[in-house]
Chain A
Amino acid sequence: MAVKLMIVDDSQFMRALLKKIVMAEYTVVGEATNGIEAVKMYEKLKPDIVTMDVVMPKMDGITATSHIVKRNPDAKVIMCTSVGQEEKIKKAIAAGAKGYVNKPFQGPKVLQEIKSVLTA
C-alpha cells in the first residue's frame, strides 16, 4: 500500500520541490501552508508521515507538531530546518518530531530520512 505523505511549508516553491523529490516513492495526500492548516489536515487525512517547515505564518511548525503529536502519539513528523538552526531542532524533537532534514534540501538525504523515520 502506498505510503501517504503530507507536506507542510508556506513556500509554494519549496512544496513543489519537496513533491518532486518524494513523488516517485510516496503519495502526497495533502499540502498545508501553515501550522493551523497542518493540524486540521492531519486529523482529516491521517498521513503516514509529515514533512514540516519550522518558520511559517499563523502557527509555526514546532507548535503544530506539538498539537499533532499530543492527539496522535504515533505521528511521524520530520522537521525541515535551515542550516544552523540547532536550537530549533532540539525544540522540535522535544515537541515530538521524529527526525529532521536541513534546508536547502538534498533529494537523497530527504528520502533517506523519511525511510529511516518510517522504519524506526
Chain B
Amino acid sequence: MEGEVNKLMQLKYMGDVGAKQAIEFLSMMLDMDVDMKIAAVNMSSIHSIPEVVGSGEIVALYTRFNGDINGTMLLLLTPDSALKLSSALIGDFPDEESEDLFNDMQKSASVEICNIITSAFIDVWANTFSIELTHNPPEFGYDYSDAIIDKALGDATKTGEFVVYFNSTLNIINMDINFNIMLMPDPGNLQTVFDMFENIDYHA
C-alpha cells in the first residue's frame, strides 16, 4: 500500500513539474496569464476509462510518444470546455463558418494546446530520467467516449494495462477549464517508469 502511495506521489511530482513547464510555454505563446494545476493523480486499469470520462460526447486530443518509454497521451475534455479553450486561444483571429461544432481553426488551436502540454510533460520525463523521447503531431477527435478511446488508443485498448490520470485545471483569461490528462504507457512500460524512479539520485 505504501509502495502504491509512493508511486502516485512520484507521478504527481512529475505531473506538477510538467504543468509548470506547460504554463511557461503557454504564457510565452499566448502572451496571457495562464495557470495550470494538477489536482490529483490516479492509476487504474485501462478498462476503467469509460467510467472516468462518462459515456457522452467528448473531445480527445491524443498523440503517441516514442523512445525509451512508449505510449499514448490523451487530453480529454467536454465539448464545452474545448470550445472555451479554443476560443480563448483564437482571440481576434478571423472567425470561419462551419457546419460542425468545431471549425478548422478551433481544432487546430486545440491540437496546439495538446502539442504544448505533451511537449512539456515529455520534456520533464526525458530530462528527469535522462532518456530520449519524441512525440508525433497530436490528433483531434470529437465523438462518443467509447468510440474515441478506441480510436485514440487503437490496439492498446486490447493489450494495454494501466492508465495514469492527471485531473487538471487550466486557467486562461479567468476561465477555469477542467480536463483529464491520461498517460498510457504501452504494456510493460509503466514498470520501466517505476524502475527509473528507483534509480533517480534526488541528491545529485
Residues of A within 8 A of B (CB): 10-14, 16-17, 20, 55, 57, 82-84, 103-107
Contacts and interface: CB of A to CB of B under 8 A. Distances in A.
Interface centre among A12, A16, A82, A103, by most chain B C-beta atoms within 10 angstroms, is: A12
Contacts of B73: none
A105 B137 CA distance: 17
Contacts, number: 45
Contacts of B137: 10, 55, 57
B29 A13 contact: no
A104 B108 contact: no
Interface in B29-71: 29, 31
B119 A17 contact: no
Interface range for B = 20 to 34
Contacts of A105: 28-29
B93 A104 contact: no
A12 B137 CA distance: 13
Contacts of B123: 83-84
A112 to B, nearest CB: 15
Contact of A13 (B26, B90, B119, B126): B90
